[in-house]
Amino acid sequence: MTWRTAIGTLAVVLTSIITAFWLINEPARMAEAEEGFEGRSIEAGAALFENNCTRCHGPQGQGLPGLAPGLNTQEMFDGTRVAEVGWAGTLHDFLYSTIAGGRPVPSAGTTYPQRMPTWSQEFGGPLRIDQVRDLTNFVLNWGEAYELGIAPTVQKVVTNPIDPVGTDLSTPVLPNGDAQAGEELTTTLGCVACHVQTDVGPAWLAEADPNGEGIGTRASARIEETNYTGTATNSEQYLRESIVLPDAFVVDGYPPSTMVMTYGETLSKQDLADLIAYLVTLK
């Protein structure tokens, strides 16, 4: 064997060893890449959760009084919750579809004043499908801690500290309303799910109304109608009545009790004032 052949043989052997090593490690590398991808998705989901969800579900997903249920709970991850709602698919699909579509109609037994908003652009929400996926991965990630038995005890919130405005139309006297805050509330409280994005309730915006009248204009006309059954004497009172006592007068063509019936018990004076201040601007 010349020294040239010896080196050639050595080179071939070395190359095979390196290739074999590379092949053996490939699945691990793929898994690592996948994990990296999932890790980034969870991170992106965390940021999205912070910006869009914590105001109702709390900073750690533990739920907030009178606003939204806890998501970071034992029951969510041990199968209790999906069984309770009769969901036949996986927890992933339950979370994904709830986040994507929201919950315009409250689940049985819940009295949250606000609806779970629709998030996916597919259904008219603000987020892309990949963002809904990131949020799903982020929520699912809490579950690992429960599976490993190392979940921190996140106190589930059950009490309701809001001082509610009640259903009396003359007291308390409402504070000054802020129309811009009211507009934001119509999204966070889920009013738009029935009044703007769909026609589950009467359209608020003039361009969607058959007579071209926004709710701000219509409110005063309603109390002049001969079939008006409520007790309001001006537009502000009509709006207040429509929100806290929806069945005092049911708009023609809509079934009674479709509107959330508990706003009087769950809205603060300020929230109600802000909502009215906004609605009267929709001429």
Encoded one letter per residue, x for contact with ligand HEC by CB under 6 A and - for no contact, window 229-248 reads ----------x--xx--x--
Residue closer to ligand HEC (CB basis): 26 or 247: 247
| Residue 206 contacts residue 282 (beta carbons within 8 Å) | yes
Q: Pick from 41, 68, 143, 235 the residue near ligand HEC by CB under 6 A.
A: 68
Tokens, residue 86: 């009769």
Amino acid at 219: A
Joined tokens for residue 190: 């889920």
Q: Which of 200, 205, 208, 221 is the binder for ligand HEC (CB under 6 A)? A: 200
Kindly state whether residue 57 participates in binding ligand HEC, applying the rule CB under 6 A: yes
Binding residues among 2-31 for ligand HEC as defined by CB under 6 A: none
Single-letter code of the amino acid located at 205? L
From the list 100, 259, 273, 277, which residue makes contact with ligand HEC (rule: CB under 6 A)? 259
Angle (nearest 5°) at CA 50 between 46 and 55: 145
Compare residues 8 and 79 and give the one whose CB is closer to ligand HEC: 79
- Please state, in angstroms and as integers, the Cα–Cα distance from residue 266 to each residue in 65, 263, 270, following that order: 10, 5, 12
Alpha-carbon separation of residue 186 from 43, 59, 83, 130, 138 (angstroms)? 29, 22, 32, 26, 27
Q: How far is the CB of 148 from ligand HEC (least distance, A)?
A: 21
Which of 115, 138, 124, 125 has its CA nearest to residue 43?
A: 138
Q: Is the peptide bond before 172 cis (omega within 30 degrees of 0)?
A: yes
Binding status of residue 62 toward ligand HEC by CB under 6 A: no
Interface of this chain with ligand HEC, residues 111 to 170, rule: CB under 6 A: 112, 114-117, 119, 135
Q: How far is the CB of 262 from ligand HEC (least distance, A)?
A: 10
Contact 65, 157 (CB under 8 A): yes
177 belongs to the binding site for ligand HEC (CB under 6 A):
no
* Structure tokens belonging to residue 114: 């606000």
Minimum distance from residue 243 beta carbon to ligand HEC (Å): 5
- Rounded to a whole number of angstroms, the minimum distance from the CB of residue 50 to ligand HEC is 10
The stretch among 18-26, 152-160, 170-178, 189-197 that binds ligand HEC (CB under 6 A) is 189-197
Residue 95 burial (CB count, 10 A)? 22
Q: How far is CA 85 from CA 79, 91, 138, 266, in A?
A: 10, 11, 21, 24
Size of the site for ligand HEC (CB under 6 A): 50
List interacting residues with ligand HEC (CB under 6 A). 52-53, 55-57, 67-69, 71, 81, 95, 98-99, 103, 106-107, 110, 112, 114-117, 119, 135, 188-191, 193-195, 200-202, 215, 218, 222, 239, 242-243, 246, 250-251, 254, 258-260, 263, 275, 279
